[in-house]
Chain A
Amino acid sequence: MDHRPQAWGRPRDDVFGPYDPSYLQTTGPKTATQQPIVTGTSVIAIKFKDGVVMAADNLASYGSLARFTDVKRLHPFLGHTIVGFGGDVSDMQYLTRHLNELAIDEAYDHEAASAQSGGGSHLNAANLHKYLSKLMYRRRNSFDPLWNAILVAGFDSQGKPFLGSVDLRGTAFTSPSLATGFGAMLAQPIMRKYAATEGDTENMTRDEAVRVVKECMKVLFYRDARSLDRYSLAVVTKDGVELSEDEQLEQQSWAFAERIRGYGTQTVPSLSGSETISALLALYP
């Protein structure tokens, strides 16, 4: 009989055979979030001389399913900042709750500090961007990332327009124009055509910036299968945030699509049925 403590309570080896502890073992390391579940696609933004314009569509996808079609992914923060979220929607919800609490806390401090000076500045977009980058980087280093790509737009402490991005790895940077997800491939080149440098943005008007962003949203809707033609558009200026959450893409033209092989329920009239089959066989041998 085995009297060692580690044998207590175990079936007797001489009766039941050697104990197989393999099922107790967990295979591999502890895992947290491995992938996003319900997702939002691109967020795009561009600076202009008096502020920043940002846009994101109102879709939350569950895989390829267009699961929610009225989701707001742009969130104002303390009056002069807008935060746009791509990626996991529940992580976005967590973050917006968190930012709401941050805003309440900031108001406590502000209330006490501005008692006499009648104003002064809040936590600005640059401060918030720094904060979010620390938050995202900490989560990534605990191997439990918040699966988002975030744009922060507003003003810095000098009062200049500010635009920064943070992603799930904590990578943070700023640029005259920014886009997350598909937008980084499809919208960014278009925006760079208009504002490649900080100098360019200083000459850009608000109307021009809005036009460029709308154009980009259209291109994204054409080419991104997880996108929607309903979107939110935010303009941040010194006067605050103007947020419209029910924009509709206008003047769409799908003519280009006809030239794309395999698009939609395309039929090619000049071919007969058997010809079609052989054409298809040629395509997929």
Chain B
Amino acid sequence: MTSIGTGYDLANSIFSPDGRNFQVEYALKAVENGGTSIGIRCKEGVVLAVEKIITSKLLKPGANKRIATVDRHIGIAFSGMIPDGRHFIDRARDEARAWRDTFKTPITTADLASRMGGYMQAYTLYQSVRPFGITTIIAGYDSPEDERVDGEVGRGPSCGAGGKVAGKTHGGPYLYMIEPSGLYWGYYGAATGKGRQAAKAELEKLDLQGDSLTLEQAVKEAARIIYVAHDDSKDKDFELEMTWISGPDGPTKGLHQEVPKALREEAERLAKKALEDDDEEEAKEEKKDDDKMEE
């Protein structure tokens, strides 16, 4: 790193002569060392999956959750410094609550992403703080139905306009990813953490813009991608954590929930099988190559 020693990387919010904020780039390094997180958006909903590296045998299996719910319909996964992630989630929950207090309605995923993007960005502006050492993936399903305003009692008039436009739909599945710089975009499939390269390569193979992928398939793909991304790094043991959000007609009824154990285990079984098959194929390929060489 050529920047080291020039002094422009010693404090946050300092521009180097070529216009970079090195502390933000270093924060990104913290993310790149963290366990892989991915998000997949399909027509029916969104899936989040994280790879949790098991750092000690003494950890209680399954007890330390890394994907959190915000309000009822949004989930947040992250890679990087875990305490930073916890703080980020606390803040996101505060934002969601403040939104409810103000507008008496749940925050939309886009609005939460915007607020939290702004929050992350603010931590790149001052020398008195450091940027967040995390990249977060925000998934949500905004209700397509007319929701009752918080605290509403009874109904409005049974006739009259009501402000509806025929054929116009609302809500749906959303997926955003926010980086330490505060930069965020909406995604069909998002990946961050150590195994992001492999995961992105796999995500690109999926038809996420069409409607061919069902939510359950997305869960299975998510599990497989985490396994592939992990396999690539040949790391220690890991635990897979997955959550999903469907629309009101789907399995989670618009709520962000952990993927049921049975489905997760099935997805993991398929993921392991897919990896083995790949290995076998590779072995065959290699064999073929060897044969050719011999010829």
Binding site for B on A (CB under 8 A): 58, 60, 68-73, 89, 92-94, 96-97, 100-101, 104-105, 107-108, 111-112, 115-116
Question: Does B91 reach chain A (CB closer than 8 Å)?
Answer: no
A93, A97, A107, A115: the one within 8 Å of B72 (CB)? A107
Residue of B nearest to A94 (CB): B151
Contact of A97 with B150 in the complex, beta carbons under 8 Å: yes
Chain B nearest Cβ from A43, distance in angstroms: 14
Least CB separation from B96: chain A residue: A104
The 8 Å CB contact of A111, one of B61, B69, B101, B151, is B69
Residues on A with C-beta less than 8 A from B153 are: 60, 68, 71-73, 89, 92-93
Closest 6 CB pairs of A and B: A93-B151, A70-B154, A97-B151, A71-B153, A71-B154, A97-B150
B71 at the interface (CB under 8 A from A): yes
> Which of B134-176 touch A at CB < 8 Å?
150-155
Asked if A104 contacts B72 (CB within 8 A), the reply is yes
Chain A interface mostly: helix
Tell me how many residue pairs across A and B have CB atoms closer than 8 Å: 54
Complex Cα gap A92–B63 (Å): 38
Complex Cα gap A178–B193 (Å): 57
Q: Which residues of A lie under 8 Å from residue B155 when comparing CB positions?
A: 70
A-B contact pairs, 9 of them (CB 8 A): A58-B154, A69-B154, A72-B154, A97-B101, A97-B150, A100-B150, A108-B93, A115-B65, A116-B62
Chain B interface, >50% SS class: loop
Min C-beta distance of B257 to chain A, whole Å: 9
Q: Are A96 and B151 in contact (CB under 8 A)?
A: yes
Beta-carbon contact of B100 and A101 below 8 Å: yes
Contact between chains at B154 and A68 (CB < 8 Å) = yes
Contacts of A58 in B (CB 8 A): 154
Q: Of A92, A97, A111, which one neighbours B104 at CB under 8 angstroms?
A: A97
Contact bitstring B72-105, A, C-beta under 8 A = 1, else 0: 1000000000000000000001000100110010
**Chain B hits for A107, CB < 8 A:** 69, 72
With a CB–CB cut-off of 8 A, which chain B residues contact A68?
153-154
B40 at the binding interface (Cβ < 8 Å): no
Q: Which residue of A72, A89, A108 contacts B69 across the interface (Cβ within 8 Å)?
A: A108
Q: Is B205 an interface residue (CB 8 A)?
A: no
New A-B pairs, 10, CB < 8 Å, besides A101-B100, A111-B69, A116-B63? A60-B153, A60-B154, A71-B153, A72-B153, A73-B153, A104-B71, A104-B72, A111-B65, A115-B63, A116-B62
Q: Which residue of A lies closest to B89 (CB)?
A: A108
- Chain A residues in 8 Å Cβ range of B63: 115-116
Residues of A within 8 A of B101 (CB): 97, 101
**Binary flags per residue of B236-271, CB closer than 8 Å to A gives 1, else 0:** 000000000000000000000000000000000000
